[in-house]
Amino acid sequence: MFAQPPGSNSHAEGSERWAWTVAILPYIEQKQLYDDLIQNFIGKPGSRPWSANRATNAWLNTLICPSDVGGAQRVPPLQGGRAPISYKGNRGDQWLDWDWWESRGFFGRGDRVRIDIASITDGTSNTMVVSEAIIGVPGSRLVGEAIAVHVSTYNSAPPSLCLERLGANRQLTDPLAQREWLTGWRWPDAINPYTLFYPMLPPNGPSCSGNNGQPWTSEYWGLVTASSRHPGGVNVLFADGAVRFISETINAGDPTRTATAPPAGFPPLVNPSRPQDYTGPSLYGVWGALGSAFGKESVQTP
């Protein structure tokens, strides 16, 4: 996510885990915090974006949606002071472990792939960069506030696996992510649940993860869906700088589709064992196409 400062040891001390949110600090009137991170934390022994310290504890109003302040205020007492975030970067329309370098979206692991404006072949006005996502609420089962875990996911898994965990009254079925592994609970952490979303299920749909029995592994396979407390949709920032409200009724295609078995009319994989290499149009409708930066689709922004 975060590009190392010049002259630093390349991604030392887990610094690949510092998120895109760090890079934008000088542009949101937080230059002092940015300098503090560069000089005293990033790449330094024992310093991680999940550690509680004066930098990760910094409460940044710019990173919290005014409609979600109530949820945000529930986080610090349970997090040793670590501050939350309401906004997530676009990881792309293909569900992958965070460790994989491949990305069809605007963001990928900074130590493995670099994406810039010039590399967006689908056009800046049709490529999402950041969306809202509700900050997780401890003890809640509601869609947007909770993450279903123990989903049997895999590279390029279909988002329908998340839908299978959707119960009555928009509540997710057990088991659910607990403690600090909820959505948006660490503003500077690049890993999935905290600062990334997947444009696969339409806005205000469920989020889930392949936990595999270890709570912390829900970070790596977390599929966070865009969400907000605004009625009917979410605000999205596009690569051309425009902010648009996207309805939760946007066409998101067939959630059972996967790159391992693309439907008729979609290009097959060159190597069937590597679904992460899929380069065709999005499998997930207009919403997925807006999330893909390199899918070669032609879509009209809603």
In the predicted model, residues of the chain with pLDDT beneath 50 are 2-9
The answer to the question of residue 3 being in a domain is no
Can you give the pLDDT at residue 176? 92
What are the tens digits of pLDDT across the range 25-52?
A: 999 999 999 999 999 999 888 888 988 8
Dihedral of CA atoms 61, 67, 70, 73 in degrees, nearest 10, equals -20
What global pTM score does this model have? 0.92
Locus of tokens 């589709």 = 257
Are 257 and 213 within 8 A, CB to CB?
Answer: no
State which residues form the domain around 169.
Answer: 60-302
DSSP 131: E
Strands 196-197 and 87-90: parallel
The answer to the question of residue 55 being in a domain is no
DSSP 14: G
Please report the DSSP string for 214-265 in residue order. -GGGGGTT-BPPP--SSTTEEEEEETTS-EEEEETTS----TT--TTSPPTT
Alpha helices, DSSP H, located in the chain: 20-23, 31-40, 69-72, 160-163, 192-195, 285-291
The answer to the question of residue 173 being in a domain is yes
What are the tens digits of pLDDT across the range 156-200?
A: 999 999 999 999 999 999 999 887 789 999 999 998 899 999 999
The answer to the question of residue 47 being in a domain is no
Peptide bond into 45 cis (omega under 30): no
The structural domain count of the chain equals: 1
The answer to the question of residue 46 being in a domain is no
Chain-centre distance of CA 19, in angstroms? 11
The answer to the question of residue 79 being in a domain is yes
Can you give the pLDDT at residue 12? 63
For 195, residues 6+ apart whose C-beta sits below 8 A from its C-beta are 1, 19, 20, 21, 85, 87, 88, 89, 184, 186, 187, 188, 189
The answer to the question of residue 208 being in a domain is yes
Instruction: Specify burial of residue 105 (Cβ count, 10 A radius: 0-12, 13-18, 19+).
Output: buried
